[in-house]
Amino acid sequence: MPKKAKIRARAAALKTMFEDAGANPVETSLLQPAEVLLDLYGEDIRARAYVTSDALRGEQMLRPDFTVPVVQMHMDHGAEPARYTYAGEVFRRQEDDPSKPNEYAQVGYEVFDRENPAAADAEVFALIRKGLGDLDLRAATGDIGILMAAVSGLNTTQRRKDALLRHIWRPRRFRALLDRFSGRTPAPQARMAMLAKPDPMTHDFPRIGLRSDAEVAARIEALKEDAEAAPITANEVALIEALLGVREKLPYALEHLRDIAVDMPAITEAVYCLKDRMDALQAQGIDVDALEFEASYGRTSMEYYDGFVFGFYAEGRPDLPPVATGGRYDALTRVLGQGREIPAVGGVIRPGLLLELEGAL
Amino acid sequence: MTIKLGVPSKGRLMDKTFDWFRARGVSLARTGSDREYAGAVEGVDGVELVLLSAGEIPRELATGRIHLGVTGTDLVREKLARWEQQVEEVALLGFGQADLILAVPNCWVDVDTLDDLDAASAAFRARHGFRLRIATKYHRLVREYLQDNGVADYQLVDSQGATEGVVKNETAEAIADITSTGETLRANHLKIMSDGPILKSQATLWRSRVATYSDADRLVLSKLLDTLR
């Protein structure tokens, strides 16, 4: 059987397994309107997705994943609760590594359910694990929600918290902001000089462009507020760092996070959620004592996961991308739902990688 | 059976390239009428001159249709993925120096660094309902630079010329463009971000790693490179 046919057959089998678990099969278009994806991901998506266009519909993207169109479909006319499955090709631009495919199959399972998020998380994880068969895979798990709770609970200005939350998925900028807000790196001299002027808005430069004087003045006000605000304490920074450094088997990670929560009560609720998820995973037959948890896992992926995150990796094959990935993306339903939202979690398997690892290709 | 040398087909870049080769004993000249893109090489045998638009030279090197080519670092980095594997830098020619920079209106007194640009972009998007627009023709270089530096909430809009004017015309809020003296920027009431240039560029002689070289070609190439050094 040719490679593609084998992959397609495995994809169909996985989809059937998801249907047997209660999912409705759905289809999405190969061409997606670029606007929605650009609005969600910004320019970064252009480095990842193929863009094409015509005079009538404007810019279109070759589907880089199924999650966005499936969420849109559900938000437009889905009944609740809902479980969906799909299979098909996704397309990813490769700018640097010719060994990475720019077209490959994905099979996914998505759950939209308000009732019990921990149970839904565990259901998705266990089902994806089942789909991967007996392969020797390492599971990585994390929870972006804990870091978000920690940032939201910092004893500092709302503006600083918003800036940090906005960059949860860009670890380098997050770090730079945290260093700035805690006074570890001083504010740039040009900024200090500008703020020291009696009226920075008095100048001879012509006013050009859409960004108005009022917007510039508002930002100067924000910078003044920031200059006057007390730095985030070294103690709080140390707690964030301790949190980001948590990486151990799930039960120990939970203990560790409980310890951190004593000094950082803002994460208490999120840590309870982690406990609920651990129990739910155990109820699904997952060996949680052997499951790795990494608090910073999932921060460098595209920014829609905001809770549970997971990935399955082939042992001894660091050259390969994860065979399966998934996570919770409640915020995405909020953005695409135009005022409505629903807790959502899902995962995808790459049947091509699965077959490759089984030696069947 | 000849080494093909691609050189920009017009303007100062062509003249200066011809000067650079002449100073090293290789005479390049356009032949025929002024509108015909044909050329002649004297002072070394087995080399054919191909006159091309500077923007096409990176791709011609990468496909191996020319063996040597003169063009800016900016164009090679923008147009070729994994450029190091496709072309080799033979010589920096010492002219055509220009920086790829980010510039914003002078009247943005609150913006000096990428940190400021990022914060301004977030507020701009909240206020205007769309991402802050940066006009450029260097999409890849600018996107990679902003991504590496964790700037969000911007969008790139294409501008193939007269980029400095887009802010005044309100088709973009900021620009990323090549500048040598900064004069055009100043005239258009724009200032350069202080984080430093995205890239420093100059005219460079490149060798294609992809082109096929016969034994005779190799001989011609090494002789030519000896002459040029």
The DSSP secondary structure of B164-207, one letter per residue, reads: GGTTTTTS-SEEEEEESSSHHHHHTTEEE-TT--SEEE-EEEEE
What is the rounded average pLDDT for all residues in chain A? Answer: 94
The domain ranges of chain B are 3-97+202-228, 98-200
Residues A224 and A254 in one domain: no
Which residue on chain B is closest to A192 by alpha carbon?
B110
Residues A131 and A246 in one domain: yes
Q: Give the residue from A230, A259, A288 where a domain finishes.
A: A230
Distance from CA of B107 to the nearest CA of A (A): 5
Q: Give the residue from A230, A256, A284 where a domain finishes.
A: A230
Residues A202 and A343 in one domain: no
Which residue on chain B is closest to A164 by alpha carbon?
B119
Mean pLDDT of B161-170: 90
- The structure's pTM equals 0.88
Which fold, B98-200? D-Maltodextrin-Binding Protein; domain 2 (3.40.190)
Residues A47 and A128 in one domain: yes
Inside any domain, residue A163: no
Q: Which of A38, A167, A211 sits opposite B155 (nearest CB)?
A: A38
Query: Are B3-97+202-228 and B98-200 equal in CATH topology?
Result: yes
Quick check: A191 contacting B, CB < 8 Å?
Answer: yes
Instruction: Show the tokens assigned to A3.
Output: 């490679």
Element (H, E) at B74: helix B73-79
Quick check: A163 contacting B, CB < 8 Å?
Answer: yes
In 3-state terms, what secondary structure has residue A313?
Answer: strand
- B92 against B38, higher pLDDT: B92
A/B interface, count of CB pairs below 8 Å: 113
Which residue on chain B is closest to A43 by alpha carbon?
B155
State pLDDT tens for residues A97-109.
788 899 999 999 9
State pLDDT tens for residues A174-204.
999 999 999 999 999 999 999 999 999 999 9
Residues A246 and A111 in one domain: yes
Which residue on chain B is closest to A36 by alpha carbon?
B130
- A78 against A160, higher pLDDT: A160
Q: Which residues of B touch A43 (CB under 8 A)?
A: 143, 146-147, 154-156
- pLDDT value for A227: 94
Quick check: A213 contacting B, CB < 8 Å?
Answer: yes
Tell me if ipTM is over 0.95: no
Inside any domain, residue A126: yes
Domain B3-97+202-228: give its CATH architecture.
Answer: 3-Layer(aba) Sandwich (3.40)
Residues A97 and A200 in one domain: no
Inside any domain, residue A180: no
Closest to A37 measured CA to CA, from A304, A328, A299: A304
Asked if the Cβ–Cβ distance from B113 to A207 is below 8 Å, we say: no
Residues A292 and A267 in one domain: yes
Inside any domain, residue A175: no
For residue A345, the domain's CATH number is: 3.30.930.10
Q: Give the residue from A230, A261, A288 where a domain finishes.
A: A230
Asked if the Cβ–Cβ distance from A208 to B107 is below 8 Å, we say: yes
Residues A251 and A347 in one domain: yes
- pLDDT value for A48: 86
Domain that holds residue A209: 186-230
Asked if the Cβ–Cβ distance from A208 to B189 is below 8 Å, we say: yes
Residues A24 and A137 in one domain: yes
**Nearest 5 degrees, angle CA A9-CA A11-CA A17?**
105
Q: How far is C-alpha A339 from the chain's CA centre?
A: 20
Residues A33 and A59 in one domain: yes
Asked if the Cβ–Cβ distance from B109 to A223 is below 8 Å, we say: no
Inside any domain, residue A155: no
Amino acid at A105: A
Q: Which residues of A touch B143 (CB under 8 A)?
A: 43-44, 46-47
Mean pLDDT of B81-94: 92
- pLDDT value for B43: 85
